[in-house]
Amino acid sequence: MTQFTKSVDADGVATLTWDTPGKSMNVMNMEGFQELDALIDDVLADDAVKGVILTSGKEGSFAGGMDLNIIAKMKASAGDDPAKGLFDGVMATHGILRKIERAGMDDKNKGGKPICAALPGTALGIGLEIPLACHHIIAADNPKAKIGLPEIMVGIFPGMGGTTRLSWKLGAMGASPLLLEGKLNDPKKAKSAGVIDEVVPPEDLLAKAKEWVLSEPKIVKPWDEKGYKIPGGTPYHPAGFMTFVGASAMVNGNTKGVYPAAKALLSSVYEGMQVPFDTALKIECRWFVNILMNPSSSAMIRSLFINKEALEKGANRPEVADQKVKKVGVIGAGMMGAGIALVSAQAGIEVVLIDQKQEAADKGKAYTESYMDKGIARKKATPEKKEEVLGRITATTDYAALEGADLIIEAVFEDVGVKAEVTKAVQAHTGPDCIFATNTSTLPITELAKAATDAEKFIGIHFFSPVEKMMLVEIIKGKDTGDVAVAKALDYVRQIRKTPIVVNDARFFYANRCIIPYINEGIRMVKEGVEPALVENAAKLVGMPLGPLQLVDETSIDLGVKIAKATKAAMGDAYPDGAVDEVLFWMADEGRLGRKANAGFYSYDEKGKRGLLWEGLEAKYPVADEQPELSEVQHRLLFAQVLEAVRALEEGVLEDIREGDVGAILGWGFAPWSGGPFSWLDIMGAERAVELTEALTAKHGERFATPDLLREIAASGGGFYDRFGTGADAKAA
């Protein structure tokens, strides 16, 4: 299966074209590296070849990066000494890129052949690392193209020379946003940043590349010449020293020390700038291997790339015909309904947005107008695009406008009676094949389906707020929900470019089932006399994006009160959170309803900017003289969530651990460094998890009781992924 082809024209310019079979975008694998290596040897040895153009056979892109499935398997296939096997394998790829860079030059930088990278569009990861090894980079003027090194976003860093070449080319300060933030640029911005050399009209790309190759250009890289000074200075240069002090503080401030890749990247740059270039590449390789050997990187790659992509492609989709949505009716034009209408219209779907009053429906549509205006101001959209998107939304009070809709998404007030009334009103105007979805975060789908004409065509679709920003959608099957309804929901979520998980009906489904105990555990500790700042910082230091007190401020305290009252009414004497309610209800009575009221567990200024924790909290619940260890607070906060995830799997609410991990990270930000709840347990080891839960149960109560499934996994000596794996094996026991 050939990935690279060679042609040589009459002027002696060889063109190497990368075209991975069966892929819409090139991705690199080991076979591709071997082919590229052989072709580079060939063109360098051929006296008839004066220079080389490296380009892509894919329209609008050069390459999407390394096949992360390969990276995920590298450690397993590296033999009895995986670190050495990985190091040797990665250094071999460095050798190929260094061969491109040196291009046949001798030790005195004489000879060699110019090699120009011609990028038709997007160049990510290894798709940029290879061009960085070339002598000149020309990109087509393609505003949709993205150029950058996003590896940090999936728990690794550019380890095929990109870290060293970019930092030596731009300096630590200039390379910082591209390496540490994974910032992607369009071609013009990439040129302004100094990443690439030229931007030309797409139709001129290869001609301009050939022109450069034949211009007898200087091809020696600056770092291969004597006396090269890295922009901004090395670590022990006065300016460079300050850069690295600031970068170290920034990395630790942003990652709280739980993301190993960022620290490793910075170490690679810091150490690499103090030695010759070839030694710097070895240092980069060693730090890269260090990260590949870290279970955190494997877990992040698995959850945030491999499993996320599998779910988006329909890993758990029933085998029924395509259910692409053409017309969607959104009932309720509040914040949630307005967001659903926006993302649907952006996806090219015709939208009917209905509310009781025309001004409410119009206000919901105006949300899309405001969003598009902001996009125009940031040059992310055009006035024409705005009109096109708005033209797809009909805001009305008339249910008759729903005729022809193939999907309804009801997003009205969280009340069984109100939802039942709306369901009946809607279905008086929709056809028998229309799927009815309710957007709810707490109400049982099976109960809500009783108001529908056909429970098989009734399903839950739980969006997270704000809809346009949150990437997860939780699809909930009622007892009688059919395959067509599930497929329709999954196909719709794919259309709006979000990630779906599919769960079975139960109280709070999956996401809220795990989020609420996290919030409650934080509040419970405050009542016990644990320093509120310790609670919040313990959460952040273990990788949670928000502490539990800040999270309840963001979601609103009165919503927490409503959920608590409804849960207590449903559970009766079995209700476990009375201690939490005391704090929550008191806060509500004090009028401290969270960010929306500019008063909650935190203080806020008149503009709504969050300040410090509210002093009145400690006055009401005095801080105890003896405080728990940081690790105990962290274990309480994490196990409050993780044990619910295990119970959800055990009870069949969750059917696939991939959905459990991906859903946790995308839905509420569960410690992304861990790969999700099940990956975290596998990193820790089930035996150790049982020890900790038994200790927590003895000290803090039955909410930390060890689930039978966790005990079984511990007894087996394996992990959750060993037992459930992927695909059919991922189904609950």
Residue 352 above 90 pLDDT?
Answer: yes
What pLDDT, on a 0 to 100 scale, did the predictor assign at position 247? 82
Q: What is the dihedral of CA 328, 334, 335, 336, to 10 degrees?
A: -40
Q: Where are the alpha helices (DSSP H) in 651-707?
A: 657-668, 677-684, 686-700
Answer for the pair 174, 185: CB distance below 8 angstroms, yes or no: no
In the chain, % of residues over pLDDT 90: 83
Is residue 322 predicted with pLDDT exceeding 70? yes
pLDDT digits (tens, 9 = 90+) for 189-234: 999 999 999 999 999 999 999 999 999 999 999 999 999 999 998 8
Q: Is 622 helix (H, G, I), strand (E, B) or coil?
A: coil
- For tokens 């279905």, what's the residue? 427
Cβ of 727: how many Cβ atoms within 10 Å? Answer: 12
pLDDT of the residue at 72: 66
Torsion over CA: 41, 47, 51, 52 (sign): negative
pLDDT tens for 429-467 read 999 999 999 999 888 999 999 999 999 999 999 999 899
Q: Which helix (H) or strand (E) holds 460?
A: strand 458-463
pLDDT at 726: 63
Neighbours of 601 (CB within 10 A): 28
d(CA 35, CA 41): 10
Q: What is the pLDDT of residues 552-566, one digit of tens each?
A: 999 888 888 888 887
Structure tokens at 548: 């539990």
Within 13 Å, how many C-alpha atoms sit on residue 371's CB side?
Answer: 22
- Peptide bond before 222: cis, by omega within 30 degrees of 0? no
- For residue 730, the model assigns a pLDDT of 46
- Return the higher-pLDDT residue of 239 and 519: 519
Residue 486: how many CB atoms within 10 A of its CB? Answer: 22
Model confidence at 411: pLDDT above 90: yes
Q: Could you tell me where the beta strands, DSSP code E, fall in 413-567?
A: 435-438, 458-463, 472-477, 499-504
Encoded tokens for 184: 């992607």
- Are the beta carbons of 410 and 341 closer than 8 angstroms? no
Query: What mean pLDDT, rounded, does the chain reach?
Result: 93
Full-model pTM: 0.90
Closest to 54 measured CA to CA, from 103, 109, 21, 111: 103
At a CB cut-off of 8 Å and minimum separation 6, what does 479 contact? 446, 449, 455, 505
Pairing mode, strands 472-477 and 458-463: antiparallel
What is the maximum alpha-carbon separation in the chain? 87
**Residue 130: is its pLDDT beyond 80?**
yes
Q: What is the pLDDT of residue 208?
A: 97
Over residues 380-396, mean pLDDT: 95
The token pair that represents 571 in the structure block = 């559970």
Q: What is the pLDDT of residue 347?
A: 97
- Give the tokens for residue 218: 């200087």
Task: Supply 693's token pair.
Answer: 């839960």
Catalytic residue numbers read 441, 462, 474, 512
Separation of alpha carbons 558 and 390, rounded Å: 34
How does residue 78 score in pLDDT terms, banded at 50, 70 and 90? confident
How many CB atoms lie under 10 A from the CB of residue 285? Answer: 24
E-only strand ranges, 84-212: 115-119, 122-124, 136-140, 147-148, 198-200
Q: Is the pLDDT score of 732 beyond 50?
A: no
Single-letter amino acid, residue 519 = I
Q: Is the pLDDT of residue 591 over 60?
A: yes
* Nearest Cα to Cα of residue 414 among 384, 392, 444: 444
Q: Model confidence over 503-552: pLDDT tens digits?
A: 999 988 999 999 999 999 999 999 999 999 999 999 999 999 999 999 99
Q: Rounded CA gap, 436 and 443, in Å?
A: 15
Cβ-based neighbours of 272, under 8 Å, separated by 6 or more: 163, 164, 167, 168, 279, 280, 281, 283, 284
> What's residue 81's pLDDT?
85
Q: Is residue 357 within 8 Å of residue 366, measured between CB atoms?
A: no
What would the 3-class secondary structure string for 508-528 be?
A: CCCHHHHHHHHHHHHHHHHHH
Residues 553 and 602: their CA atoms lie apart, in Å, by 7
**What confidence score (pLDDT) does residue 12 get?**
96
Q: What angle do CA 389, 390, 396 make, to 5 degrees?
A: 135
Mean pLDDT, residues 277-291 taken together: 97
The predicted structure's pLDDT at residue 230: 93
E strand map for 31-95: 51-56, 61-63, 65-66
Lowest mean pLDDT across 248-252, 415-419, 478-482: 248-252
Confidence tier at 137 by pLDDT (50, 70, 90): very high
pLDDT at 303 over 80: yes
Predicted confidence at residue 727, as pLDDT, reads 47
Rounded CA-CA distance 189/467 in Å is: 29
Segment 644-656, tens digit of pLDDT? 999 999 999 999 9
Q: Are the C-beta atoms of 191 and 199 separated by less than 8 Å? A: yes
CA-CA-CA-CA dihedral for 138, 140, 143, 147, to nearest 10 = -40
Residue 101, token pair as written in the block: 């860079």
Listing from the earlier edge strand, what are the strands of the sheet with 435-438?
393-396, 350-354, 327-331, 407-410, 435-438, 458-463, 472-477, 499-504
